[in-house]
């Protein structure tokens, strides 16, 4: 009998999600869901294997506005991914709309409509990714009421998570690795890796705080840890509903026979003393401003996604 590897052991408590736009890499690791973002799609679409997808979109929709062609390309990738996973795909709204609620809602509605036109059951199989700004969270509130489910991304602060829960967001993606990066850079030469590994990793601690709060208060919003730098961060969150993992780290887990223990326990979370909190807009903005790490990483993340969105525009514009 084959010994269970670390990836299989992780699946006992956590839904494994592939963090990639490269759908040819997905099948080997049997993830339930898959997530994409502008950076991942940009990397994938520049590979020769995916050039036909770009060409097909240009041939069929070359006369359409550029933003529509981009959305059609994203949905084309999403449909290919859905052919390879049994669950959901997350497709991201243009990050340049992160501070525009109405425009985010309109773009999300169009993405959902494009999926439906391809025969996809969007209520069960699609999550629309939106940056967890105040405006993005308010857009998600509207979309969730319409049955368009959302995945709030670029989430670094507790206040973002609480506001998402209050808005009825289906899923949030707190970023473990980017939090870790910030604290490591801030510490400089005084950083001792061994003292900040596993459960002591600041990114892991952030997700655990959110997860414990959600489970303690019976909040339905799913938590999906994201942006991992190493397998230790992943295993320290075993028991989280979902974890979205790059193909490289999926391969490392599949090659490892290290024991995996459940790190997050809903019964323990329910027994904690965690007061309920809520944030109005002014309180949310102040709490986010007080968190230097979250403020900087949110802004940095939006800027980086905007850069790649412009590059994707250029690729599609060149063929239009």
Pairwise CA distance, residues 261 & 242, whole Å: 16
Please give the DSSP secondary-structure letter assigned to residue 238. B
Pairwise CA distance, residues 133 & 302, whole Å: 10
Pairwise CA distance, residues 241 & 94, whole Å: 26
Is-catalytic flag, 129? yes
308: left (phi over 0), alpha (psi -120 to 50) or beta: alpha
Here the tokens at position 242 are 């979902």
CA angle 289, 91, 113 (to 5 degrees): 120
Pairwise CA distance, residues 171 & 210, whole Å: 12
Pairwise CA distance, residues 20 & 245, whole Å: 8
The catalytically annotated residue of 129, 185, 297, 311 is 129
Sole residue written with tokens 């700004």 = 133
Pairwise CA distance, residues 50 & 100, whole Å: 32
Pairwise CA distance, residues 314 & 18, whole Å: 27
Cβ proximity of 178 and 297 under 8 Å: yes
Cβ proximity of 23 and 29 under 8 Å: no
| C-alpha 291, offset from chain centre | 21
Active site residues: 129
């Amino acid at each position: 009998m084959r010994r269970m590897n670390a990836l299989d052991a992780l699946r006992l408590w956590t839904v494994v999600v592939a963090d990639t736009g490269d759908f040819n890499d997905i099948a080997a690791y049997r993830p339930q869901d898959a997530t994409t973002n502008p950076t991942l799609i940009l990397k994938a679409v520049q590979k020769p294997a995916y050039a036909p997808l770009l060409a097909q979109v240009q041939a069929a929709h070359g006369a359409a506005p550029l933003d529509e062609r981009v959305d059609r390309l994203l949905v084309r990738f999403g449909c290919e991914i859905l052919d390879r996973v049994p669950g959901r795909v997350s497709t991201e709204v243009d990050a340049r709309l992160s501070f525009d609620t109405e425009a985010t809602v309109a773009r999300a509605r169009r993405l959902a409509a494009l999926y439906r036109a391809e025969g996809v059951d969007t209520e069960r199989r699609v999550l629309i990714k939106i940056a967890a700004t105040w405006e993005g969270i308010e857009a998600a509130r509207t979309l969730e009421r319409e049955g368009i489910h959302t995945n709030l991304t670029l989430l670094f602060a507790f206040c973002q998570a609480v506001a998402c829960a209050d808005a009825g967001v289906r899923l949030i993606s707190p970023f473990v690795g980017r939090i870790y990066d910030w604290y490591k850079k801030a510490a400089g030469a005084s950083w001792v890796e061994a003292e900040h590994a596993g459960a002591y990793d600041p990114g892991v601690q952030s997700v655990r705080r959110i997860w414990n709060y959600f489970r303690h208060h019976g909040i339905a919003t799913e938590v999906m840890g994201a942006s991992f730098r190493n397998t230790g961060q992943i295993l320290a969150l075993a028991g989280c509903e979902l974890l979205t993992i790059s193909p490289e780290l999926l391969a490392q887990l599949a090659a490892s026979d290290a024991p995996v223990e459940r790190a997050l326990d809903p019964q323990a979370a329910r027994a904690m003393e965690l007061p309920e909190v809520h944030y109005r807009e002014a309180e949310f903005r102040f709490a986010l401003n007080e968190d230097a790490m979250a403020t900087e990483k949110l802004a940095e993340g939006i800027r980086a996604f905007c850069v790649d969105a412009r590059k994707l525009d250029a690729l599609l514009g060149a063929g239009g």
